[in-house]
Structure 1
Amino acid sequence: MRAIQLSRFGGPDVLEIVEVPKPGPQAGEVLVRVHAAGVNFFEVLMRADRYAVTPQLPMFLGVEATGIVEALGQGVDASLLGARVAAPLFASSRPFGGYADYVTIDASLAVPLPDALSFEDATALMVQGLTALHLSRQSPPSAKSVLVAAAAGGVGSLLVQLARRQGAGLVFAAAGSKAKLELALSLGADAAVDYSNADWPGRVREAAGGAGVDIVYDIVGGPLTAAALEALAPCGEVVFAALGRYALGAPEMETMIGRNQSLRGFALLPLLSADVLRASLSELFDLAAGGELVMTKGGSFPLDQASQAHRLLEERGATGKVVLIA
C-alpha cells in the first residue's frame, strides 16, 4: 500500500510517497480502507521540526482518517465489517500513519459515521471539531461576549458556530483577510475584525460596549495573545490552545492580575477517555449530518500530493479543513 513518509525535516518536498506492507488487524482491532485523511497545522510544524516535541524519524504522518472497515481482528463484533467509520488515531496507542491507503485502530475507538455525512466532512470534525467542542465546554460561552481567533480556520469556524449554538451573547470573529471575515460572518459571528489592522483590539472593545469581551478563545498564539488582552474585559478569560506559541511575559501577566483576568490552558488529549471521545464525535457527527454544523473545506488533495497540501497550510492559504483523498 501507499503511505507518506517523513524521513528528514524540511520543507513540504521532504514528504515522500513509499510502498509499505498492508497492515493486518491484531486482536481487538479493525483494518480501515482510508477514504480521507486530515492534514493539520501541527503536522506542518512537525515536518519542519518546529513543533514542541521533535518526533523520531522516519515516521508516517497523519493522526485522523475516515473510511470503510475492510477486515476484523480476533474478537471484534462482526457487524463492523463494511461499516463507515472515523479512525481517531491521535487517541490510540499508534497515533500516526493516517496519510496512507490503510490504517488499523482499536475497534473501541472506531466511531460509526451517519450515512448523510461525507468522509471529508467527518475528517474535519475529529481534531478540529473535538478541539472546538471541548473549548466551548471548558469555558462555556452562554450569555457571554466571546472573541474567536482564526475564525475562518478549521477550529475557529466550528467554534463560531458552537458559540452561537450555545447562546453566546456576542460572537466576535478575528481573521486576516476580507474573505475569511465574510466566511465567519456567514457562520454566525455578530462582528468581524481584521487583525492585520493595528487598532483591531480597540474596535472589539468598542463593539462590546467599551469594556471588552468576556472570553478570548486563542488558537493562534504569538503576538496575537498580547494584542487580544487589550480586547479582554476586566475579570475576563483567555483560553489558550495555540500549540505552544507563548508570547506573554511578566508585564502582561501583571496587567492581567491587576484587571482580575485569567489565563486558562487547553490540551485536548487529556480530556478524551474512550467513552468521552466516542460520545463527543457522535454528537458532532449527528449535528453535521443534520445540517446544524457547516464544515468549511480548505482543499482536497490526492494522497500523492501531500506536499502541496502542506504548502497550502504553511502559506496560510487554506480556509477550513484540508484533507488527503486516498
Structure 2
Amino acid sequence: MKAVQFSRFGPPEVLDLADMPTPVPGDGEALVRMKASGVNFFEVLMRADRYAVTPPLPLVPGVEVTGVVEAVGEGVDHALIGARVAVPLFAIGRAGGYAEYVAADAGALVPVPDGLSFEDATALMVQGLTALHLVRQNPVAGKNILVTAAAGGVGSLLIQLARRDGAEAIIAAAGSERKRQLALSLGADQALDYRQQGWAKAAGADIVFDLVGGEISKACMAALKQNGRLVLAAMGRFSLERADIEAMLDANQSLQGFSLLPLLTKEELARDLADIFRLAAEGELKIVRGGTFPLAAAADAHRAIESRDTAGKIVLVAEG
C-alpha cells in the first residue's frame, strides 16, 4: 500500500509517499480501506518539531480516517465487511491515517450514515467532538459568546452548535473578510477582524472560546465581561502573563483549559460521533470543506494549512 511518512523534521517537503506492507488485521481488528483522512494543524506542528511532544521517527501521521471495511480478524463478525465506518485513531492512541489502509480495534469503529460523505464524516471527528465538548463544558444558553478562528474546522461547527444551544449572541473573529462572511452565514451575529488594533474591546462576551492562542489570547481578555470566562482551546502557546491573570481575578473572571482526549470514553465517543454524524446527514450541521487533496499531495495539504488562508477542514482522499 501507499502511505505518507516523514523520517526527519522540517518543511512540507519531508513528507514522502512510500510503499509499505498492507496491515493484516489481528484478533478483534478490522482492516479499513481509507476513503478520507483528516489533516490537522497539530500534525503540521509535529512535522516541524514544534509540537508539545516530539514523536519517534519515522512516523505516518493521521489520526482520523473514514473508509470501508475490507477484512476482519479472528473474533470479528464477517458481516462488518463492506461497512462504511469512521476510525477514530486519536481516541485509541494511534496514528497512521495518511495511508491507503489502516487496521484498528473493530470495537472502536463508528458507522458512517449513508447520507454522509466520507469527507464530511472525517471533518466531524476531531473538530466535531471538540466543538461538541466545548459547548457541553461551557453551556451557552442565554449568553454572549466570542469565537476566534471562527471559520476554521472547530470554529465553524462551534458557531452552529452554540446557535442550536440557545446562545444569545455569537461574535465571530477571523482574519479575512471571506472568513468573516462565512462565519456570519453559519449563524454568527457579528464578525470582527482580529488584525485590527483593539478589535475585542466592544465584544462584551460572557464566554470567549479562543481557538488561536498566542497574542490573540491576551487580546481576548478585553472582550470579557465581569465574571466572564476565557476558554483556551488552541494548539499553540499562550501569551498570558502574571499581570493578565491578576487582572482577570480582579474582574472575577475565570480561565479554563481544554483538552479533548481525557473527555472521551469508548461509549461516549461512539454515541457523540453518531449524534453529530446524524445532525450533518440530516442537514442540521453544515460542514465547511477547506480543501481535498490526493494522498500523494499531503505536502500540499500541509502548505495550505500553513498559509492560514483556508477555512474549514482539509482532508486527504485515496486515489482510484
> Distance between the aligned counterparts of 2:118 and 2:226, measured in 1?
43
Aligned to 2:170: 171
Tell me the secondary structure at the aligned position of residue 202 of structure 2.
Answer: helix
Tell me the secondary structure at the aligned position of residue 145 of structure 2.
Answer: strand
The answer (yes or no) to whether the contact 2:212–2:236 under 8 Å persists in 1 is no
> Distance between the aligned counterparts of 1:4 and 1:154, measured in 2?
23
C-alpha deviation, 1:203, in angstroms: 3.3
Tell me the secondary structure at the aligned position of residue 168 of structure 1.
Answer: coil
> Distance between the aligned counterparts of 2:226 and 2:214, measured in 1?
22
TM-score (norm 1): 0.96
Task: Describe how 1:51-130 pairs up with structure 2 within 5 A.
Answer: 51-93=51-93, 95-130=94-129
The answer (yes or no) to whether the contact 1:6–1:47 under 8 Å persists in 2 is yes
> Distance between the aligned counterparts of 1:268 and 1:113, measured in 2?
21
Aligned to 1:320: 312
The answer (yes or no) to whether the contact 1:72–1:81 under 8 Å persists in 2 is yes
> Distance between the aligned counterparts of 2:155 and 2:123, measured in 1?
12
> Distance between the aligned counterparts of 2:235 and 2:196, measured in 1?
24
TM-score (norm 2): 0.98
Aligned to 2:227: 235
Tell me the secondary structure at the aligned position of residue 148 of structure 1.
Answer: strand
C-alpha deviation, 1:285, in angstroms: 0.1
Runs (4 or more) in structure 1 with deviation over 2 Å come to none
C-alpha deviation, 1:244, in angstroms: 4.4
**How high is the sequence identity, in percent, across the aligned residues?**
59
Tell me the secondary structure at the aligned position of residue 200 of structure 1.
Answer: coil
> Distance between the aligned counterparts of 2:315 and 2:309, measured in 1?
14
Which one of the candidate residues 259, 264, 268 is aligned to 1:272? Answer: 264
C-alpha deviation, 1:224, in angstroms: 0.4
Aligned to 1:260: 252
Per-residue CA shift, 1:81-107, capped at 9, x if unaligned?
1100000101114x1000000001111
C-alpha deviation, 1:315, in angstroms: 1.1
> Distance between the aligned counterparts of 1:165 and 1:248, measured in 2?
31
The answer (yes or no) to whether the contact 2:5–2:18 under 8 Å persists in 1 is yes
Per-residue CA shift, 1:109-130, capped at 9, x if unaligned?
1000110000000000001001
C-alpha deviation, 1:80, in angstroms: 1.3
Task: Describe how 1:1-326 pairs up with structure 2 within 5 A.
Answer: 1-93=1-93, 95-204=94-203, 212-326=204-318
> Distance between the aligned counterparts of 1:125 and 1:302, measured in 2?
19
**Unaligned 5+ residue runs, structure 1?**
205-211
C-alpha deviation, 1:194, in angstroms: 0.6
> Distance between the aligned counterparts of 2:179 and 2:253, measured in 1?
29
The answer (yes or no) to whether the contact 2:37–2:66 under 8 Å persists in 1 is yes
Which residue identity lines up with residue 257 of structure 1 in the other structure? Answer: L
